[in-house]
Amino acid sequence: MVEPVNSSAPEFDVVFRARRLIGPNGEVSGSVGVREGRIAAVEALDAPMRGARTVELAEDEVLLPGMVDSHVHVNDPGRSEWEGFPTATRAAAEGGITTIVDMPLNCLPPTIDAGSLEVKREVARNNVHVDVGFWGGAVHGNLDELRGLHESGVYGFKCFLLHSGVDEFPPLDSAELERALRIVAELDATMIVHAEDSDAIEHAPSAHGENYRDFLHSRPRGAENMAIAQVLELARRTGARVHILHLSSSDALPMIASARADGVRATVETCPHYLSFTSEEIPDGATQFKCCPPVREAANRELLWRGLADGVIDCVVSDHSPCTPELKRLDIGDFGVAWGGVSSLQLGLSAVWSQARIRGFELSDVVSWMSSGPARVSGLRDKGALAVGSDADLCVFAPDDAYVVDAEKLHHRNAVSAYHGRALAGVVRSTWLRGTPIAGPEAGTAPAGKLLNRGEA
């Protein structure tokens, strides 16, 4: 390479030098040059690259693309005492996440038309520490709004097939689901589905009291299996692209693989809690573990790991769905009345890495599940890859460092966490959004995140 005569001007705003980095083809050593918020070069570790500044990673650090969490309930506006944009996105940044996609429910109004999307954007604008995209809602009675929401920039649509937990976000029945999927196919959008069957849940024993097994029996695998079968068949019939949210029942993996082999456009996610916990070890009354679908048996957990190894499961995202400690009913520990949802936005990367490494997976696997996978499923073109042309969203991660979770020190709004007291491997040392530090020793306090629109990012 010929050096220009006037070689004093820096070519890059920042150059990262990393003995280990996770690129699109796995782990290598290298240097990453950032210009105007984008990755402008990925070259050898000793490549002669001049940056306005250089960040040398320590011996024990690995450079990752920023994590992408496409399943976050920010609840803002309307239930901001549960969570809000400043706190959720601060927690995300501290956890190595650079992009979240916000769910359309639990906020008020729910995001079910272009107007309510604009209300949410107004609240989020200038209040986010990471980039934020939005899902729209497909609910009973709003199918005529889907096109308008799509044109306003949502990344796709979420629907429920049973009561969502909040009355203002009513589920679709099967005729409406088919109609909605025809619209989604026409828009070339994605329908993301909470797949539990209403009828099956209604006929299951009701959840009450502090015994976790009783709660588990109230949300049987069969309810998930039936709903997923229905979604796959309607996706087959309509040609729509569908995504199964928070898979807990490993029974469904073979039918998802089989539908996909037939050309059905279906993807699937699971969550850190299904990969970390087992129903056998959840103490009575520990409602911080309550979520729907529920955490199941140890054998089921291992089959979910198999699903990741086999490539049937595309991604792992948090389903961060917090509420106040009062609504978790930690005082009485009643699984029947406690709000369902696990708060884990800041912990997902460490939680998944802790479990992955003891099963022989590599960091590059975790990156494909938690960064490139969710970016692909959501249609976030500029995210999820440490590659030239992508946004310079980066995470400096120390995989062999460790910590014990203290719920009080987490950044999401309410200090409730199913991971409290657990030792986790892997520490996020710093997080960078479009080349700017947003977590770690150099991070500023001003919100640096942007609101994203489908097709533009």
Under the rule (CB under 5 A), what is the footprint of Zn ion? 319
- Is 133 in contact with 168 (CB distance < 8 Å)? no
The answer to whether 320 and 345 have CB atoms below 8 angstroms apart is: yes
Contact 56, 302 (CB under 8 A): no
**Cβ-count burial 375-413 (b if 16+ within 10 Å, e if not):** bbbbbbbbbbbbeeebbbbbbbbbbeeeeebebeebbbb
Q: Confirm if 416 and 343 have CB atoms less than 8 A apart.
A: yes
If the CB atoms of residues 74 and 448 are measured against Zn ion, the closer one turns out to be 74
- Taking the C-alpha atoms of residue 158 and residue 138, their distance in angstroms, rounded to an integer, is 6
Structure-block tokens of residue 364: 């590059």
Q: 116 or 318: whose CB is closer to Zn ion?
A: 318
Q: Which residue is nearest to Zn ion (CB)?
A: 319
Complex with Zn ion: residue 102 or 319, whichever CB lies closer: 319
Q: How far is the CB of 156 from Zn ion (least distance, A)?
A: 14
User: Quick one: 33 or 293, whose CB is closer to Zn ion?
Assistant: 293
The label of the residue with tokens 């369902």 reads: 340
> Tokens in use for 424?
């986790």
Closest distance of CB 319 from Zn ion, Å: 4
Pick between residue 165 and residue 209 the one whose CB is nearest to Zn ion.
Answer: 165
Tokens representing 26 are 């796995």
Q: How far is the CB of 103 from Zn ion (least distance, A)?
A: 6
HSE (CB half, 13 Å, CA atoms) of 182? Answer: 8
Q: What is the DSSP letter of 206?
A: P
Residue the block writes with tokens 């499923």:
377
Instruction: Output the smallest distance, CB 253 to Zn ion, in A.
Output: 20
DSSP-derived 3-state class of residue 368? helix
Residue among 160 and 361 whose Cβ is closer to Zn ion: 160
Least Å from the CB of residue 362 to Zn ion = 28
Distances 212 to 206, 284, 374 between C-alpha atoms, Å? 12, 6, 31
Residue placing its CB nearer to Zn ion in the complex, 61 or 319: 319
| Residue 319 or 393 with smaller CB distance to Zn ion | 319
Q: How far is the CB of 412 from Zn ion (least distance, A)?
A: 15
Nearer to Zn ion, 266 or 317 (CB): 317
Minimum distance from residue 246 beta carbon to Zn ion (Å): 6
Token pair listed for 395: 């995470």
Distance CA 456, CA 37 (A): 15
List Cα–Cα distances, 122 to 149, 218, 331, in angstroms: 16, 39, 36
- Least distance in Å: CB of 305 to Zn ion? 21
C-beta of 196 vs 319, nearer to Zn ion = 319
Minimum distance of Zn ion from residue 375's CB (angstroms): 18
Instruction: Name the nearest CA neighbour of 21 among 358, 414, 399.
Output: 399
Shortest Å, Cβ 301 to Zn ion: 19
Closest CA to 37 of 370, 432, 438, 442: 432
Give the span between the Cα atoms of 163 and 156, in whole angstroms. 20
d(CA 97, CA 149): 26
